[in-house]
Amino acid sequence: MNEDIVLHVENVTMQFGGVVAVNNLSLDVPKGKIIALIGPNGAGKTTAFNCITGVYEPTNGLITFNGEPIVRNHPVGAMKKTYAGLNADRYTSKFVLPKEFDESDDAYEKRKEALKEIDKYAFTDTQLAPTADKITNCGIARTFQNIRLWKSMTVFDNVLTAKHMRAKQNLFSATFRTSIAEENRMKEETVQLLEEQNLFRFKDDLATSLPYGLQRRLEIARALATNPTLLLLDEPAAGMTPQETVELCEFIKEIRNKYNLSVFLIEHHMDLVMQISDYIYVIDFGSEIAQGVPKDIQTNQAVINAYLGADNE
Amino acid sequence: MFKKINNALNPSLRHPEQERASRINKVGAIILLAILYVFLFVLDNFLPAGSFTGMLIPVLRKGAIYALLCVSMNLLNGFTGLFSLGQAGFMLIGGYAYAILSIPASQHAAVYQYFDGGAIQFSIPEFFSSFLGAGLGSFVGSIICIIIAGVIAALFAALIGIPVLRLKSDYLAIATLGFAEIIRAIFQWNGFGIITNGSNLLRKYTALSDIRWDIGSVSLKFGTVFVFLIVTICILLIVLLINSSYGRAFNAVRDDEISAEAMGINLFKHKMMSFIISSFFAGVGGALLAMYQTTIQSAAFTSAMTYEILLMVVIGGIGSVSGSGIAAFLYIAANEWWLRFLDSGSIGSIEVSFFRGGFRKVIFSIAIMIIVLFFSRGIMGDKELSITGVINWFKNRKERKLAKKINASKEGE
Ligand SMILES: Nc1ncnc2c1ncn2[C@@H]1O[C@H](COP(=O)(O)OP(=O)(O)OP(=O)(O)O)[C@@H](O)[C@H]1O
Ligand SMILES: [Mg+2]
C-alpha cells in the first residue's frame, strides 16, 4: 500500500432504506494534496463525508487513515442478508462473494490476501464503527455545509472548546485550576488561530453574529484547533462573496503548507475547485462518474452531462 | 448588568478594565459573603424569636437548599442540555442515605420499631461525637454523611446513566422521571424496611439544630450558617466546573451535539459526567433537606418536587447560576411566607371570605403562568449577576434611555 496515501476509501456504500446515497465509492487522498469531491446537488458528497467522519456507519466498505482502518463494515454475516436482499447485483463489492464466484479462483485469492494486508478483519464479521470523536482524535477534522457553530458561545470560546479534546487535564485538575498552565496554553493557541484568520477582533462576539463568510472561516479555525492532519471542508465557499472566495483559495493553500495538511473538499464553486485542486473526483447519484486532474475534468463529457442534466431539471 | 459566564479570557489576554472588574467582583463577593455569614450567625443566635425571624430562618434555610438543587439541575438541563427529570429520585436517595447513616444507635429501636431496630446499627455523627464532643462531632459527622449521601446518589446516576443517556431529549425526560418514581416505590417497600424503614418516616437523625457549639453554659447555634456554608461550597464548585474546559464542552454538547462530537468531544462521557455531578449535588441537597425537615419520608419525594425545581430554574433563567439562586429564594419566600396571608381568611383585621385554604396556590399558579408566558427567558436569561455588572447597569441607565428614544424616533420616520 502506498505510504503517501493519507485517506483511503474503498467500496463505501451508504444506503438509507431504499435510497443509495453513496454507491461503491473508492478514492484516495495523498499526503499534502488538495483533493476535491464534486457533483450535482444530492449526489451524495456530504454523505460521503459523514461516512468518513463517523456520523454515519456505512452499509459497506472500508476507510483507512494513514494505513489504519478507521471505519469498516463488511456485508458478511447478518449484514450480508439485508444487503443481498436489495438488488444485490448493484453492489459489486469486492468484499462480497458473488453467487457464482469460484472460491478456488486465483484472482479471488490474490484479492483476498491484498485486502487482508490492509485490514486483517476483512472477510470477518467484525465491524468497526467508531464514534465521530474518535475519528477526530485520529487527526481528521471537518467543517459543515450548514454551518454548525456553537451558537451560544463567543468566537473565542468556539475555537477554545475545540481544543478540549487534546488538553492534558482531567475533571479535577480543570475544576480546581491546577492545570491552569495547560488552560493558558490552549488560550494562547486560540489567539494565534484567530489572528491568523483575522477574527481576533471579533473574539468576544457571539459566533452566530458574524457574517456568513466569517462564520465559515471560524469553522475552519475551529477544525484546525483539533490539530488535524487531514482537513475535510464541506462547501467552504458557499455564501461567500467573490472577493472572500479568492482569499479563501489562498488561505486554504496557506494553512495546508503551514500545518502540513492534506485537504479534501466539497465545492460547487467551479473556479475555486479548478484552481485549487490537485485531483478531482466527480460523483452523481452516489456513484463515481469521473476522476482526474482539473483540466481533464473540465472537458469530461460525463461530467458536463451530469451538471447540465442537473441544471435542466 | 450582566456578564457572559464563559468569559474565557485568561488574565494576560484581558483588557485592563476587565481585569479590574474581575478583581472588584471577586473581592466584593467575598466581602458580601462575610457580611451575610455574620448576619446569619446573629440571626441564628441573637435576634429575638418572633414571627419575623420565625419565618425568615426557615425561608432562608429552605431557599438556600433549593438554590443548590436548582443550580445542580441547571448544570444538567441548562448547561449540558439534557432534559432530565430525575431530581426528586436523587434527592430521595441522598436524604435517606444521610438519615440512615446518622440516626444514633440508641434511637434505632424507636425509629425502626416495625423492623426490629433495623439492620444498620451505627451512626457516623455519634462516632465523631465520641471523641470530638457533641457539637463538633455532629458537625464533622454530618458533613461526612452529606458527602456519602452525594456519592451514593452519584453511584445511582452512574448506573442508570448507562442506558438512559443514550436516549434523546423527550425519552430521557420520561426515563428519568420513571426512575424517580421507581426509587420512591422501592424506598416505600417494606421488603427493604430494615434499611429504609419501609413506608414509615425516618427521624431522630442529626438535624440542623444539632449543629451547635456549647461553651460552658452558652450554646451557639449554627443551623442556618451550616446550610449556607455547604450550599456556598457546592455552588462554588459547580461554578468552577462550568467555567472550566469541561464546562465549555458541556455547552458545546448542548448547542450542537453533532459538531461537538465532530470536534472530538465524547458525547457519552461528557453527558455522563454532567449527569453524575448533577446527581451528586442533588443528593447533597436531599441530605440538607432531610436535616432541615428533621423527619424524612419517601412518599414526599414526588415528581411534583422535580417540577417545582424545574420551574424555579426556568424562572431564574436556564443557563444562569445566579438566576437559579435568586429564583429559588424568591419562590420559597413567596410560597412559604409572603403569600401565606391568602390562606388565612383575612388581610390584617379585614375578613375576606375567599381567602382560605388553597387560595394561595391559585394566585401562585397564576403568577407563575404569567412569568413563564411573558418572561420566558427568566429573570437572568443566560447571563450572570456581578457587582460591576449592577454598577454599570445603573450607570448606563441614562444612555439606554437615550438610545431607546433615538430608536423610537428612527422607527417613527
Ligand atoms: N440521513 C439521511 N436519511 C435519508 N436520506 C439521506 C440522509 N442523508 C442524506 N440522504 C439522501 O442522500 C442523498 C445525498 O445527499 P447529500 O446530502 O449527501 O448530497 P450532497 O451531494 O451533499 O448534495 P448538496 O450539493 O446539495 O449538498 C440525498 O438524496 C439525500 O436525500
Ligand atoms: Mg452536501
Q: Which residues of A99-137 are buried (b: 16+ CB within 10 A; e: fewer)?
A: eeeeeeeeeeeeebeebeebbebbeeeeeeeeebbebbb
Q: What pLDDT score was predicted for residue A102?
A: 53
Residues A225, A231 contacting (CB under 8 angstroms): no
Q: How far is CA B213 from CA B75, B134, B161, B293, in A?
A: 35, 8, 41, 21
Q: What is the dihedral of CA B138, B143, B144, B150, to 10 degrees?
A: 140
Return the H-helix or E-strand segment holding A5. strand A5-16
Residues of B in contact with A148 (CB under 8 A): 256, 258-259, 262
Q: Per-domain residue ranges for chain A?
A: 149-227
Q: ipTM above 0.90?
A: no
Q: Which of A25, A47, A234 to mutate to test the pocket of ligand 1 (most atoms within 8 A of CB)?
A: A47
Does residue B279 contact residue B154 with C-beta atoms inside 8 Å? yes
Q: If you measure from the C-alpha of residue A260 to the centroid of ligand 2, how many angstroms do you get, rounded to a whole number?
A: 26
- Beta-carbon contacts of A193 under 8 Å, excluding residues fewer than 6 positions away, are A159, A221, A224, A225
Q: What is the DSSP letter of B203?
A: E
3-state secondary structure A168-185: CCCHHHHHCCCCHHHHHH
Nearest residue on chain A to B264, alpha-carbon basis: A133
Q: Which residues line ligand 1 (CB under 6 A)?
A: A 16, 19, 21, 39, 41-47, 145
Residues of chain A in contact with residue B261, where contact means CB-CB under 8 angstroms, are: 55, 131-133, 136
Write out pLDDT tens, residues B58-70: 999 999 999 999 9
Low-confidence ranges of chain B (pLDDT < 50): 1-12
| Cell (9 digits) for A126 | 467484525
- Shortest CA distance to A196 belongs to which of A254, A264, A262? A254
Nearest residue to A268 (alpha-carbon basis) of A235, A292, A219, A245 = A235
Q: Where are the domains of chain B?
A: 2-12+27-301, 387-413
Report pLDDT digits (tens) over B261-292. 999 999 999 999 999 999 999 999 999 999 99
Please name the residue whose Cα sits nearest to atom 12 of ligand 1: A21
Q: Which residues of chain A have pLDDT under 70?
A: 1-3, 74-105, 107-109, 111-112, 114-115, 118-127, 309-313
The CA distance from B354 to B280, in Å, is 43
- What's the confidence (pLDDT) of residue A84? 41
For position B255, what pLDDT does the model report?
94
Asked if A142 contacts A232 with a C-beta cutoff of 8 angstroms, the reply is: yes
pLDDT of B70-80, one tens digit each? 999 999 999 99
Q: What is the largest CA-CA distance in chain B?
A: 83
